[in-house]
A = this chain, B = another copy of it.
Amino acid sequence: MASIRANCRKIVCIGRNYAYVRPNPEYIGNLAEKASRDHITELNNARPKQPFFFLKPPSSILPPGQGPILRPRGTRLHYEVELGLVIGKIVRDLDPEDHEGALNVIHSYILAIDMTARNVQDEAKRKGLPWSIAKGFDTFLPISLPISKSRIPDPHDVDLSLSVGGELRQADSTGLMLFRIPRQLADISRVMTLEPGDIVLTGTPKGVGEVKERDIMKATIAVRGEELEEGTIQIE
């Protein structure tokens, strides 16, 4: 919706919030890959001790029907399907145990794809540089129509999915979040005040990967097995 974009002043994205860690590309094709991947998953090696987060600019929002996603020259684009919270109240220093308070500050939900120029991000990580460029290009945040709160009785019990060219790549429950929404909002709001219209992206489940030119992505959100029609993204 134009209004989600127009009302948004910041987008705060939680990093690494599901147990799975992408296998190191060095292991791909290597006999040790499977073992290593399970090992990382098992040990939760990269599981952060506390949620960390980064910003995407409101200018990166791509409302429904306004694609395609732009492919800046020399970038490798990765998808990350995420449940998004549209904030309805001013939030400061929320108590991480205040589950009801956390739900109260949510105005509505969206489905979103946190697009990332992965090669740009990998280079930034290596150099200790900010992620803002890798995450902040125009069109790098395709979103669904707004999903009214009544449609999602429990945001920790919905199923997210993302397919590329008809092939399912991500499909997991938000029940697998490492840090749940009250903790996320508590940690963010201890640093920066959340304001009405701000968007929080709650992290992405396993299966993150590349999307190539002309690939069609489709993302869905389902409650008790039923897809929410307004919570669909279909985009090139």
Contacts and interface: CB of A to CB of B under 8 A. Distances in A.
B133 A52 contact: yes
Given A59-B193, A138-B193, A192-B57, A130 B52 contact: yes
Contact of A53 (B92, B125, B133): B133
Interface string A34-75: 000000000000000000111101111000000000001000
Interface string A96-130: 00000000000000000000000000001110111
A23 interface: no
A132 interface: yes
A142 interface: no
A169 interface: no
Interface string A185-196: 000001111110
A203 interface: no
A52 B129 contact: yes
A231 interface: no
